[in-house]
Amino acid sequence: DTGVSQDPRHKITKRGQNVTFRCDPISEHNRLYWYRQTLGQGPEFLTYFQNEAQLEKSRLLSDRFSAERPKGSFSTLEIQRTEQGDSAMYLCASSQPGANEQFFGPGTRLTVL
């Protein structure tokens, strides 16, 4: 399967814990996006990378959220000191150079108890 992959698919954690999610984009896609989707809503943009450069991070929900893409391939999204309101589906998407089409992974469902 050459699509976008995300790991883990599900994460249950206790309030106050840190969590980290991984996204592997489609090979040769230089742009990588993170979105959050809450129940009954459309995906909400968080941040994106072009290669290893994080070009937009003002939409990250708070300073507890951070993302990295150190080698321009896979990316990680970390949430520190999780809160119950962080419970959501975290989606990753990637796109080819110069293209608008974004292809999504299956998402990581986070539940904060």
Catalog residues that contact other proteins under the rule CB under 8 A: 4, 6, 33, 40-45, 48, 55-56, 59, 91, 100-107
Give least dist CB 51 to other proteins, A. Answer: 14
Considering the complex, state which of residue 54 and residue 80 has its C-beta at the smaller distance from other proteins: 54
Min dist. Cβ of residue 32 to other proteins (A) = 12
DSSP string, the chain: --S-EEE-SEEEE-TT--EEEEEEPPTT--EEEEEEE-TTS--EEEEEEETTEEEE-TTSSSTTEEEE-TTSS-EEEEE-S--GGG-EEEEEEEE-TT----EE---EEEEE-
**Distance in Å, CB of 24 to other proteins, minimum:** 13
Separation between Cα atoms, residue 41 and residue 32, nearest integer Å:
21
Q: In this complex, which beta carbon is closest to other proteins, that of residue 17 or of residue 62? A: 62
Query: Given the complex with other proteins, which of 82 and 95 has the nearer CB atom?
Result: 95
Q: How far is the CB of 45 from other proteins (least distance, A)?
A: 4
